[in-house]
Structure 1
Amino acid sequence: MKKVTIADVAQHANVSKSTVSQYLNNRFDYMREETKKRIEESIRELGYRPNIVARSLKQKSTTTIGVIVANILHTFSTQVIRAIEDTCHEADFHTIVCNADDDPEKERKYIEMLRAKQVDGIILLPTGDNAALYNEMQKEGYPIVFVDRTVPDVPIPSMLLDNKKAAGLGVQHFIDKGYTKIGIITNVIRNVTPRMERINGYKETMKANDLEIRDDYIKSLEVSRIKEGVRELLSLDDAPEAILAGNDLTLIEILKYVKEHNVKIPEDLAIIGIDDVSFASFYEPGLTIVAQPTFEIGKKAAEFLLNKIQKKEDQDEGLVFRFDPKLIIRESC
């Protein structure tokens, strides 16, 4: 079946090819309504589909960005993706989402694939282990923005939570409620920014309140071992009375243990989680959460990248944008 072209549409609508081109590119401010209607009807009747590849080559833009998340199972990741997609949609940009599973090799392959598809820029939740590749992209002037993490010696703009403050809010709330024996559990993802900063925030707040920092109260574990870690904590002779969950996946595993072993919250164990979860308000008892403004972070990342792609304004490299956490108090502490 013969492919319908702009020339076919122009002939059918009795206008020039340039007029059809202007219509397709939404440049019809001074176009008569009758002309617009004829072109629209011709496109529909002929079944015309624009050649996206040809248009991209001509405009030197695919109006597409790539988003590579570290782990799409995180509530944070899905909410950030939604904010990015909404922002890009408003700017008539498309998004391609990839899940790296915190695997540096998988991340590298996705970066190469997206660049081969000539996406205009990439928003990346970096594994941190491809520093040479990140720096190469930055030196080339390729538009890239980090989210949730920074990478040492890589001057790429990053949008992330004030993680120390987030952990500090949770620990301080425990202390204000009378708890002194406070543990923290995070899941192991090498030395990524949120995990390290949240542990440091925990330690700094404990120290500021003249409370003992015990190594056996601090656990960094694979997600599959978090329930075992809770058991180990609660089996200590001087077990913690409260636990700060380092992120949403950690919180879910802690709650699984609590349910399986009939641990009462907060009577037996007070719990606060960092990262909001959809069930926090109707879980019984309601879960106290340190939430981060995920939609604000995703929106800022998308706007920053789009400005970089469209060269709307000069932007310094290496900027780190920190976003404030919010303590949402419920019954779990």
Structure 2
Amino acid sequence: MAREAGTGKTSVSRYLNGETQVLSEDLRQRIEAAIQRLNYRPNQMARGLKRGRNRLLGMLVADLTNPYTIEVLQGVEAACHALGYMPLICHAANEIEMERRFVQLLTTYRVEGLIVNALGAEEAVLRPLRGGGIPAVLVDRTVEGFDADLVGLDNRGAVSLGVQHLLDQGFDAIQFIVQPFQQVSSRRERERAFREAMAARGRPAERAVVLDPNDAASTERALAEIAARIDAVHSRGGKRLALFVANAPVALIVARHLRTQFGAAWQERAALLSIDDPEWAELIGITTIRQPTYDIGYKAVEFVHERIEGVTGDARVVLLPGTLVERASTMHVIEAAS
């Protein structure tokens, strides 16, 4: 490059590192022309390693098949582009051992920071990040014993919004449905928030139905329990039971079951509301509480960038509000067909 431009290596290095103010206009033009003739593309990884930076951000996700994760990734990618990072996505497929392996792998890649949407069960899985001095930001769920910035949904506010909507529509029987929640903080928060929201309004809260999509027997039991509750409420005056589902993957299973069990007119027997707003919800008219997924992903990158740049202090928590999207599935209470 220096030979092609008729100058020394130091001048070319200054040009490539943005120190063009110390170069004459003629020299800048010669170097630029040499770059064009040689079709030169700098090796950003090598340059970054030389400066102790590689601009790689890791993102560890528990479930890439969940629409929530895909939508968060859109915000992550946009923020990475704006701030000059390259995201490195690792899918743990809801396996703790996979999370452990990916954390070890990302530390060997010397990522500058990590965004974690993990299973949330074991602090020990993420401990190598501390030893490697890698800043991490948690998305959606905390990890007990692992102190880090967190960006997610205001679960209490979202559940309260949903409960109030159902009560305003005239439903006095509401059944909460959630995946196994003991090991995942966001699910625990939603289950607890439902009980608190009902109690605050002087309404009894039935025990949550727990549905595990990864366990066929659990799913079958949960769906049978839901069907029994629908029939019980219907038999006491023909009213519909309102089903409040904690996330979209479970809501899809429930919606399919309702269609199979009660046919095309299933909404005469049960109302359905879900946290998350996947595309299919609009197609069949499901009321949802939309999460600000893009903003969650974008803010997570901003937080990890600030930590990389030296921001210190206590862990920060940003909980963003959900938005109620009203559709036909929770229209005012109607009498079921006899």
Give the TM-score, by structure 1 length.
0.87
Who is 1:256 aligned against? 256
Tell me how far 1:152 sits from its aligned partner. 2.1
1:177-207 superposed Cα distances (whole Å, 9 cap, x missing partner): 1111111222236520111111111111121
Who is 1:42 aligned against? 34
- 1:315 and 2:312 are equivalent in the alignment: yes
Give 1:193-204 correspondences, 5 Å limit: 193-204=185-196
Who is 2:237 aligned against? none
- 1:28 and 2:6 are equivalent in the alignment: no
Unaligned runs of 5+ in 1: 1-8
Tell me how far 1:31 sits from its aligned partner. 5.3
Identity of aligned residues (%): 29
Contact 2:140 2:150 in 1 (8 A): yes
Distance in 2 separating the partners of 1:31 and 1:79: 45
Tell me how far 1:257 sits from its aligned partner. 1.6
Contact 1:155 1:319 in 2 (8 A): no
Who is 1:62 aligned against? 54
Are residues 80 and 29 of structure 1, via their aligned partners in 2, closer, same or farther at CA, if it must alter by over 3 Å?
Answer: farther
1:75-132 superposed Cα distances (whole Å, 9 cap, x missing partner): 2211111111111111211110111112111011111111111111111112223313
Contact 1:185 1:221 in 2 (8 A): no
Are residues 103 and 276 of structure 1, via their aligned partners in 2, closer, same or farther at CA, if it must alter by over 3 Å?
Answer: same
Q: Which moved more, 1:9-18 or 1:290-299?
A: 9-18
The residue type equivalent to 1:118 in the other structure is R
- 1:332 and 2:333 are equivalent in the alignment: no
Contact 1:102 1:189 in 2 (8 A): no
Distance in 2 separating the partners of 1:253 and 1:133: 31
Q: Which has the higher helix share?
A: 2
Are residues 175 and 115 of structure 1, via their aligned partners in 2, closer, same or farther at CA, if it must alter by over 3 Å?
Answer: same
Q: 1:185 aligns with which of 161, 177, 180?
A: 177
Who is 2:335 aligned against? none
Give 1:18-167 correspondences, 5 Å limit: 18-28=10-20, 35-138=27-130, 141-167=133-159
Who is 2:336 aligned against? none
The residue type equivalent to 2:279 in the other structure is S
Distance in 1 separating the partners of 2:12 and 2:220: 62
Tell me how far 1:69 sits from its aligned partner. 0.9
Are residues 50 and 202 of structure 1, via their aligned partners in 2, closer, same or farther at CA, if it must alter by over 3 Å?
Answer: same
Are residues 75 and 28 of structure 1, via their aligned partners in 2, closer, same or farther at CA, if it must alter by over 3 Å?
Answer: farther
Who is 2:245 aligned against? 245
Who is 1:273 aligned against? 274
Tell me how far 1:140 sits from its aligned partner. 5.3
Are residues 280 and 229 of structure 1, via their aligned partners in 2, closer, same or farther at CA, if it must alter by over 3 Å?
Answer: same
Over the aligned positions, Cα root-mean-square deviation in angstroms equals: 2.4
3-state DSSP of counterpart to 1:110:
helix
Are residues 29 and 278 of structure 1, via their aligned partners in 2, closer, same or farther at CA, if it must alter by over 3 Å?
Answer: farther
Distance in 2 separating the partners of 1:26 and 1:42: 16
The residue type equivalent to 2:210 in the other structure is K
3-state DSSP of counterpart to 2:329:
coil
Give the TM-score, by structure 2 length.
0.86
1:245-300 superposed Cα distances (whole Å, 9 cap, x missing partner): 1111111112222333315353221111101212333x13x221111111111111
Tell me how far 1:36 sits from its aligned partner. 4.5
Are residues 269 and 117 of structure 1, via their aligned partners in 2, closer, same or farther at CA, if it must alter by over 3 Å?
Answer: same
Tell me how far 1:29 sits from its aligned partner. 5.5
Contact 2:76 2:301 in 1 (8 A): yes
Tell me how far 1:53 sits from its aligned partner. 4.2
Unaligned runs of 5+ in 2: 234-239, 331-338
Are residues 331 and 244 of structure 1, via their aligned partners in 2, closer, same or farther at CA, if it must alter by over 3 Å?
Answer: same
Tell me how far 1:135 sits from its aligned partner. 4.2
Contact 1:227 1:254 in 2 (8 A): no
Count of aligned residue pairs for this structure pair: 320
Are residues 57 and 168 of structure 1, via their aligned partners in 2, closer, same or farther at CA, if it must alter by over 3 Å?
Answer: same
- 1:13 and 2:11 are equivalent in the alignment: no
1:213-265 superposed Cα distances (whole Å, 9 cap, x missing partner): 222x5324235554652343122452471111111111111222233331535
Tell me how far 1:44 sits from its aligned partner. 4.1
Contact 2:99 2:125 in 1 (8 A): no
